[in-house]
Amino acid sequence: MKQNKTLIGIIVALVVIALWAISAYNGMVGAEENATTALANVQSAYQRRADLIPNLVETVKGYAAHEQETLEGVVSARSKATQVTLDPENMTPEKLKEFQAAQGELSSALGRLIAIQENYPDLKANENFRDLQVQLEGTENRINTERNKYNTAVQEYNLKIRRFPNSMLSGVFGFDKMQKFEAEAGAEKAPQVKF
């Protein structure tokens, strides 16, 4: 009789541990999926920007033919930025920094392209250029929003896998800490505008 109670107690304890492990595992999988989906949304926003750039460059070409160096810089930066992609299955801090650097270079080149409009009043008044500029500004806002959502999802995931008792299982099941997007180097300094 005493053996039966002990056996039942062991079985109940094993069932409780198994249910906790299943629940913890499923929670970590859900948090990881949220983070990888958020990363895909970031990449989608960056792709939208990359898709708008050829139209913007072509519009500017008609008005600013002697700004070839700036136009080539934008095209080159776009090419580099679209070659660097992030794979959630194989994402390292180095790959994230490389991705951010390529996107930062593209942002800088776009800034120079947009600045060209000041030298060309006809370009500034061109409806296509204004529409593309508005779409690009909206895309930049989307990128920022998606990056913030990604960072929030990564924070939730990292907390879930690092908190006790989930931390006991996260290593066993291969759940590793994910990296967040960080500000670009020099972003802490306000740009100087000089006329």
Q: At what angle do helices 127-162 and 93-116 cross, to 10 degrees?
A: 160
Residue 176 burial class via C-beta count within 10 angstroms: exposed 0-12, middle 13-18, buried 19 and up: exposed
**Contacts of 104 by beta carbon, 8 Å cutoff, 6+ apart:** 184
What's the token pair of residue 122?
A: 């006809």
Task: Look at residue 183 in the predicted model and tell me its pLDDT.
Answer: 64
d(CA 32, CA 161): 9
Tell me how long the chain is.
Answer: 195
Residuewise pLDDT in 10s, the chain (195 residues): 778 888 898 999 999 999 999 999 999 999 999 998 998 888 888 888 888 888 777 777 666 665 666 777 777 888 877 877 777 777 777 888 888 888 888 888 877 777 777 776 666 666 777 787 888 888 888 888 998 999 999 999 999 999 898 888 888 888 988 888 776 655 445 444 332
pTM attached to this predicted model: 0.67
How close are the terminal C-alpha atoms of the chain, in Å?
A: 93
Name residue, tokens 């913890």: 24
Would you say 49 and 139 are in contact if contact means Cβ atoms under 8 Å apart?
Answer: yes
